[in-house]
Structure 1
Amino acid sequence: MFTITPRTLRALFTCAVLSLTAAAHAQTVFRVTTIPEEAATEQMRKFGPLASYLEKQLGVKVEFTPVSDYPAAVEALVNKKVDLAWLGGFTYVQANLRSRGKIVPLAQREEDTKFQSVFIAKTDSGIKSLADMKGKQISFGSQSSTSGHAMPRGVLVEAGINPEKDFARIAYSGAHDATIASVVSGKVDAAALDITVWKKFVNENKVDTKAVDVFYTTKPFFNYNWSVHADMPKAMQDKVKAALLAISPNVPEQAEILKLNRATRYIETKPENYKELEAAARNLGLL
């Protein structure tokens, strides 16, 4: 017969206390991730200051962890492996469908209300219009990217172009900076990407517009947002939203956060903003 001795009881009690302490510690860590629109090092540089800001505002430890690809960001939020995620419009739609409507968009950049994609090509390629892309090698970003795939594909279809039939080859770079590199290096003839990443590369002299430049810009659409899972307590949701909306361009360290995130300010957003994008994605067979 097994006898519980005082020593065993003390050991069991210690284990229970340690387990509860570990659980409590885990609950005090607020986890943040983003879709990898650029290289992991750039993601860390961009969102590190925001993580520090949120840590002060929320009163808990905030950890930022980059993921390998767009689907990984979706799964992390749907499965509550992270508390807050920066998603594109299309990845938000995917996450909301995967979770059966349990993803809550809190805030977006003011720029995300009228976002655009650009098509770029080498200036000596002879590509001056969408029609000129026929027979060429083309790159999109991630297959789950709004500005790097879903919206540009929609524009092409509207123009009477069937990417699978009319292009010599379709590549998926996985990230906007890689998309630019694929055109600059000549791996592809033309590509589509996020307009803000393109402007960033131009402003930082990371691309020579005499060699590679924009030949087509899409109409505006709703894009990126910060989202949480609906299972997060409402009080915490409100606190996170308030922290994001409070980031001010008039406070130097906060202005730097906005600059790194290519934003003038954060504003509220709502699920209805992405209904048109969801409908377009369904029409394209992407959902």
Structure 2
Amino acid sequence: MKLKLKKALQGIFALALLGLAACSDQGGEAEKHPLQVLLIPADGGTESGTLADYRPIFDAVGKSSGIDFDLKVAQSYGAVVEALCSGNADIAFVGPVTYLQAKERDCAQLLAVGVKDGQSIYYAGIFARKDSPIRTIADLKGRSAAFGDVNSTSSFAYPLAMMIEAGVDPVKDLSALRLTGSHANSLAALIEGRVDAAALSFDSYDKAVREGVPGATDVKVIARSEPIPYPPLVVNSRLPEETKAKLRNAFEGVAKAPGIKPEMIRGYAGAKLDGYDAHFPPEKFDGAARKLALVTDEMKGEILKKASER
């Protein structure tokens, strides 16, 4: 009787060990599953262009940390917020506006912010063709202008705020207003003469010049914004704290990690960076939030209506 009991207990113990082994294997597999990265369609006007901008840094972080990533480009800025809030994105590259929208819904936290020439800032601009009589924002009255995505910081919200501060009502004073969906599309509309002015980031403009986009050097700067916090990488608030810490450490140290080439450290518009700051204070986005508050939801509605007019 004792022998039978002993064998039974041994069988139960063996099954328990098998169960633990299975759980361990499943846990290992779970760690191998790539983290889902979603990128706003900020630049290039194409999915391939945006992926080319950000794949180097994620390849570098993956190589140095062993973390796997699956990169995709969203169809719109708003889609990134929804993906974060629904749990379909673990990490995202966003603009300050998109970050603030996701943060307000408790869907995202700062992961890391790019550092370029020792700073984590960028600029929005309003551009016109060099042969245009437009010299200042005030000269935009009675003219047409192109803007990017309605949730874009540097191709929509900041340029509009700059116009409002300069006494130009974008709804009443512009003869026509076009929403093109991206920085590159707005620049193209300007170069091709479909609009008199275009709003886009200086990073996007510099990329166009760097890549030899025809006509890119034939435009001039009408206005430049104040410094804006650099477009951040954010992490889904629901991720385990251990995963968040591992990611922050990986991005913070990637620029100095063994085997990582400097050309892999890239950021917005594919620009080469010094590295990434994983301790960038969230409150530094507060000033941008106050500036962006000038573009109210009511005004956005009026702009969307005006943009639909042909």
The TM-score by the shorter chain falls in which range?
0.7 to 0.9
Equivalent residue pairs, number: 267
| In structure 2, distance between residues paired with 1:106 and 1:48 | 17
**Counterpart among 171, 178, 185 of residue 164 in structure 1:** 171
Does the Cα contact within 8 Å between 1:106 and 1:270 map onto a contact in 2? no
Corresponding residue for 1:30? 35
Q: What whole-Å deviation, never above 9, does each CA across 1:227-258 have from its counterpart, x for those lacking one?
A: 01222111111111111122327977442222
| In structure 1, distance between residues paired with 2:258 and 2:205 | 27
Say yes or no: does 1:242 pair with 2:249. Answer: yes
Does the Cα contact within 8 Å between 1:247 and 1:254 map onto a contact in 2? no
Q: CA deviation at 1:23?
A: 11
Q: CA deviation at 1:113?
A: 3.1
Corresponding residue for 2:114? 109
TM-score by length of 1: 0.84
Q: CA deviation at 1:95?
A: 0.9
- RMSD (CA atoms): 2.6
- Look up the SS of the partner of 1:37 in the other structure: coil
| In structure 2, distance between residues paired with 1:249 and 1:197 | 27
Say yes or no: does 1:194 pair with 2:197. Answer: no
**Counterpart among 38, 59, 64 of residue 71 in structure 2:** 64
- Look up the SS of the partner of 2:206 in the other structure: helix
Alignment map for 1:110-259 (pairs within 5 Å) = 110-111=115-116, 113-208=120-215, 211-248=218-255, 253-259=260-266
| In structure 2, distance between residues paired with 1:174 and 1:252 | 38
Q: CA deviation at 1:175?
A: 1.0
Corresponding residue for 1:283? 294
Corresponding residue for 2:92? 85
Corresponding residue for 2:57? 50
| In structure 2, distance between residues paired with 1:179 and 1:96 | 28
Q: CA deviation at 1:190?
A: 0.3
Q: CA deviation at 1:54?
A: 3.1
- Look up the SS of the partner of 1:166 in the other structure: coil
Q: Based on CA coordinates, which of the two structures has the bigger radius of gyration? A: 2
Which shifted more, 208-217 or 267-276? 208-217
Q: CA deviation at 1:161?
A: 0.7
- Look up the SS of the partner of 1:151 in the other structure: helix
Does the Cα contact within 8 Å between 2:91 and 2:234 map onto a contact in 1? yes
Corresponding residue for 2:280? 269
Does the Cα contact within 8 Å between 1:86 and 1:224 map onto a contact in 2? yes
- One-letter identity of the residue aligned with 2:130: T
Which shifted more, 263-272 or 85-94? 263-272
Q: What whole-Å deviation, never above 9, does each CA across 1:98-139 have from its counterpart, x for those lacking one?
A: x2x342112111247332111111111211111111111101
| In structure 2, distance between residues paired with 1:239 and 1:25 | 15
- One-letter identity of the residue aligned with 2:36: R
Does the Cα contact within 8 Å between 2:113 and 2:233 map onto a contact in 1? yes
Runs of 5+ consecutive residues of structure 2 not aligned to the other structure: 1-21, 301-310
- One-letter identity of the residue aligned with 1:147: S
Identity %: 25
Does the Cα contact within 8 Å between 1:146 and 1:223 map onto a contact in 2? no
- When residues 90 and 22 of structure 1 are mapped into structure 2, their CA distance, relative to the original with a 3 A threshold, is same
| In structure 2, distance between residues paired with 1:79 and 1:26 | 21
Q: CA deviation at 1:282?
A: 2.6
- When residues 128 and 252 of structure 1 are mapped into structure 2, their CA distance, relative to the original with a 3 A threshold, is farther
- Look up the SS of the partner of 1:219 in the other structure: coil
- When residues 137 and 23 of structure 1 are mapped into structure 2, their CA distance, relative to the original with a 3 A threshold, is farther
- One-letter identity of the residue aligned with 1:264: D
- Look up the SS of the partner of 2:293 in the other structure: helix
| In structure 2, distance between residues paired with 1:27 and 1:249 | 24
Which shifted more, 177-186 or 23-32? 23-32
Q: CA deviation at 1:219?
A: 1.5
TM-score by length of 2: 0.78
Corresponding residue for 1:8? none
Q: What whole-Å deviation, never above 9, does each CA across 1:65-117 have from its counterpart, x for those lacking one?
A: 111111111111122211110110010011112x2x34211211124733211
Q: What whole-Å deviation, never above 9, does each CA across 1:10-55 have from its counterpart, x for those lacking one?
A: xxxxxxx9xx969955972211111111221101212222332333
- Look up the SS of the partner of 1:283 in the other structure: coil
- Look up the SS of the partner of 1:247 in the other structure: helix
